[in-house]
Structure 1
Amino acid sequence: MTDIIKRNARAILLDGNELVLIKRTKPGRDPYWVSVGGGVEADDASVEAALHREVFEELGGKLERAELVHLITDELEGGIGVQHIFAARLESMDLAARTGSEFTKPERGGYEVARVPFTAEAVRDLNLMPPELAQFIAANTDAIASVVDTPFREG
């Protein structure tokens, strides 16, 4: 069995009928978009707890609900990285409350909150990274919307 050496928690984050993303701009590179989220830290109680922390750091946001819907495995030196992809609904956002270190380091480039219609076409038109995530979202928009809007019940 291969060791997991890195974990990330990311959100396919919906607010109304829009997908909330981060537009990244870096010198010498075309703009690209990423989902809200980041690395799981040693003091996070769980991967989902890491997601909630990252949403607060990057958006000053709180989630109404989050459901794990997908995993992406990355081959890394010394093991694998696992990106835990959650479908989530945004409860609130206050950009003035953002605390992420990325906002205080201009050398990391720009981080702009972006909203796009939550449609397969809109997602396909973006340079959304990683490409596997863009493909998953575009292929599953109805299911993702259903997951974040319908409470799960056993039985």
Structure 2
Amino acid sequence: MTEQLTVAVGRRAARAILIDDRGRLVLIKRTKPGQAPYWTAPGGGVEDADASVEAALYRELVEELGAEATNASQVFLFSSPSDRGVAVQHFFVARLASLDESARSGPEFSDSSRGGYELDRVALRGDDLAAIDLKPTALKEFILANREALQVEAGVVS
């Protein structure tokens, strides 16, 4: 008889591997006092009011970037331990349709103690992506290994 382990999902998040028309990743450069800068995919927590994880993705893109995206397709799942169970991040590849930084409205912009959230674009071709600290590391490795397929999936032809 095998023993089953039940693990609670403490937090679920939706994040975008967001690609613009020039084949660049649209990322958030995070700066915090006393820490080296790092980059992260835009997105955030799934809320009870969200109809689905994908709906949370679209809402988060509007809040964090003032962006709309198309062709979203879940391509990567990442989990890590958290104080409330397991944190699960759903990563969707998507194509950037529009962006208006003045429309950014997430709670992170009203609390300066959370540090900086700077919009950045990083080329998928070449060595730019390899040179930055994209978190989580498993996401960076996944993107580097699948750059061409991600562009195709997002509908970006370069």
- Scaled by the length of structure 1, what TM-score is found? 0.92
Gaps of 5+ in 2: 1-5
Q: 1:2 aligns with which of 7, 14, 18?
A: 7
Q: 1:80 aligns with which of 86, 100, 104?
A: 86
The whole-number CA distance in structure 1 between the counterparts of 2:120 and 2:73 is: 22
Structure 1 match to 2:66: 60
Structure 1 match to 2:19: 14
Q: Which has the larger radius of gyration?
A: 2
Contact residue 120 and residue 141 of structure 1 kept, 8 A: no
1:24 aligns with 2:30: yes
Contact residue 28 and residue 117 of structure 2 kept, 8 A: yes
Q: Cα RMSD between the aligned structures?
A: 1.3
1:140 aligns with 2:120: no
The whole-number CA distance in structure 2 between the counterparts of 1:33 and 1:134 is: 10
1:147 CA displacement: 0.9
Contact residue 11 and residue 84 of structure 2 kept, 8 A: no
1:78 CA displacement: 4.2
1:26 CA displacement: 0.4
Equivalent position SS for 1:30: coil
The whole-number CA distance in structure 1 between the counterparts of 2:132 and 2:42 is: 15
1:13 CA displacement: 0.4
Aligned residues: 150
Q: 1:103 aligns with which of 109, 124, 130?
A: 109
Equivalent position SS for 1:29: coil
Contact residue 120 and residue 137 of structure 1 kept, 8 A: no
Higher strand share: 1
Gaps of 5+ in 1: 151-155
The whole-number CA distance in structure 2 between the counterparts of 1:73 and 1:51 is: 17
The whole-number CA distance in structure 2 between the counterparts of 1:50 and 1:40 is: 5
The whole-number CA distance in structure 1 between the counterparts of 2:27 and 2:82 is: 25
The letter for the 2-side match of 1:100 is: G
